[in-house]
C-alpha cells in the first residue's frame, strides 16, 4: 500500500497542487480515526462485560441484572 498509493493519489506531474491526493488522504485519515474509535468502544464494552461476568460469578456480590450490563453493584455486608 505504501509503495503504490502515493504514485496513484499524488503523481509528480500534478505537484504542488494534488487535489485528489489531499481528498484521498483526508478520507483515509477519517477512516482510520473512526476505526480506532470503534475498536476503543468495543474494547471498553468487552472489559465491562468481563467485569460484570466476573462479579456475577462471585457469590458475595449481588447484581441487579434488570438494569443490563451497566448494573449497579450491591455488595452485601457480611463482615
* Cβ neighbourhood burial of 29 (10 Å; 0-12, 13-18, 19+): exposed
**pTM, full prediction:** 0.61
CA-closest candidate to residue 11, choices 1, 3, 2, 21 = 21
At residue 61, does pLDDT exceed 70?
no
Domain boundaries, the chain: 5-75
Pairing of strands 61-63, 73-75: antiparallel
CA distance 7 to 63: 58
CA distance 17 to 50: 51
pLDDT (tens digit per residue) in 14-44: 888 888 888 998 999 999 999 999 999 999 9
Amino acid at each position: 500500500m505504501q509503495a503504490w498509493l502515493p504514485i496513484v493519489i499524488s503523481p509528480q506531474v500534478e505537484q504542488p497542487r494534488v487535489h485528489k491526493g489531499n481528498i484521498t488522504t483526508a478520507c483515509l485519515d477519517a477512516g482510520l480515526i473512526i476505526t480506532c474509535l470503534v475498536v476503543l468502544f468495543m474494547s471498553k464494552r468487552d472489559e465491562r462485560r468481563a467485569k460484570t461476568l466476573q462479579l456475577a460469578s462471585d457469590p458475595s456480590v449481588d447484581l441487579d441484572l434488570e438494569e443490563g450490563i451497566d448494573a449497579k453493584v450491591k455488595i452485601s455486608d457480611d463482615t
